[in-house]
Amino acid sequence: DAMVIQNPRYQVTQFGKPVTLSCSQTLNHNVMYWYQQKSSQAPKLLFHYYDKDFNNEADTPDNFQSRRPNTSFCFLDIRSPGLGDAAMYLCATSEGQGSQETQYFGPGTRLLVL
Amino acid sequence: GQQLNQSPQSMFIQEGEDVSMNCTSSSIFNTWLWYKQEPGEGPVLLIALYKAGELTSNGRLTAQFGITRKDSFLNISASIPSDVGIYFCAGQGRETSGSRLTFGEGTQLTVNP
């Protein structure tokens, strides 16, 4: 019973060709997050949505955008992927009801940039 | 900003041995989370801790939220080959929008049969 679903699991794109990664959740959580994770490193938060409110991390490049059309879905758009954007992209969710929360991660999308 | 120091960075152990790893911070956290990540997969939540001093078990795993709220440890007893993976601690401070996590650098665990 998947709770946080990411599609596709593997994505290959060309240098400079826009790509969209998708995430959906069955938990009805208010908050959805996008992380970038490079090999042997901890996940790095790119941005998150609290309901419809978008919160960008200060060091997230403009090349990365996000959309959340409804509670269940959230998208990560990479406008012009560079070789350095090859990474695992993780979506996570949390309830957003208090100051003590648990984040649940999806299985990730591995992005390869050629 | 907040930083977490996780140790050890890697461990090579024999099947059946017990394992201990910990995280320390200079900042206070409200929540400590322990995740396990296997290659090509997302982090899977193992244990969540919400109170200072809390000791919680999940099968062979035990984790504690330090009294000072600045540290946490994870123990794995009687390790088995499927325990192999990277273990991350994560702490959550006081946030009004979502729950921003600070991650440790991870502990790579290898279990030899």
Considering only CB atoms, B31 lies closest to which of A31, A100, A108, namely A100
CA distance B56 to chain A (A): 15
- B47 CB neighbours in chain A (<8 A) are none
Over chain A, what HEC string results?
CCCEEEECCEEEECCCCCEEEEEEECCCCCEEEEEEECCCCCCEEEEEEECCEEEECCCCCCCEEEECCCCCEEEEEECCCCHHHCEEEEEEEECCCCCCCCCEECCCEEEEEC
The answer to whether B45 contacts chain A (CB < 8 Å) is yes
The predicted-structure confidence for B38-64, as pLDDT tens digits, reads as follows 999 999 999 999 999 999 999 999 999
The answer to whether B42 contacts chain A (CB < 8 Å) is yes
The answer to whether B43 contacts chain A (CB < 8 Å) is yes
Q: Hey, how many other C-beta atoms are within 10 angstroms of the C-beta on A106?
A: 25
Phi, psi torsion values for B104, nearest 5 degrees: -75, 175
Per-residue pLDDT of chain B (113 residues; tens, 9 = 90+): 567 899 999 999 999 999 999 999 988 998 999 999 999 999 999 999 999 999 999 999 999 999 999 999 999 999 999 999 999 999 987 655 557 899 999 999 999 98
Counting as low any pLDDT under 70, the low residues of chain A are: 1-2, 98-99
Q: How many CA atoms lie within 13 A of B52 on its CB side?
A: 7
